[in-house]
Amino acid sequence: MTAGYPFVRRVILPALVLVLAGHAPAVAQTGEWTAPRTTFGQPDLQGVWDFATITPLERPERFGDRAVMTAEESAAYESERFELVDHDTDEGAEFVCKGTGNYNEFWYDRGFGDVVEQRRTSLIVDPPNGRIPPRAPGAGPAGRRPRGFDAWDSRGIAERCIAGFNTGPPMMPSAYNNYVQLIQTSDYVVVFNEMIHDPRIVPLDGRAHLAGRIPQWLGNSRGRWEGETLVIETTNFYGDTAFTENHSASASMKVTERFTAIDADTLRYEFTVEDPDTWTRPWTAVVRMTRSDTPIYEYACHEGNYGMLNILSGARAQEDASSR
Dihedral (Cα; 271, 276, 278, 283), 10-degree rounding: 30
Give the C-alpha separation, 275 to 252, whole Å.
6
Cis peptide before 128 (omega within 30 of 0): no
Summarised one tens digit per residue, pLDDT across range 137-189 is 988 777 777 788 888 888 888 888 888 888 889 998 887 889 999 999 999 99
What residue ranges do the domains of the chain occupy?
Answer: 6-24+33-59+124-322
236: closest CA among 225, 247, 250?
Answer: 250
175 and 107 Cβ atoms separated by less than 8 Å: no
- Give 47's strand partners: 182
Give the C-alpha separation, 260 to 262, whole Å.
6
Task: Quote the mean pLDDT of the chain.
Answer: 81
- Give 226's strand partners: 229
pTM of the model: 0.83
Summarised one tens digit per residue, pLDDT across range 264-309 is 999 999 999 999 999 999 999 999 999 999 899 888 887 666 788 8
**The pLDDT of residue 50:** 94
Fold classification of 6-24+33-59+124-322 (topology level): Lipocalin (2.40.128)
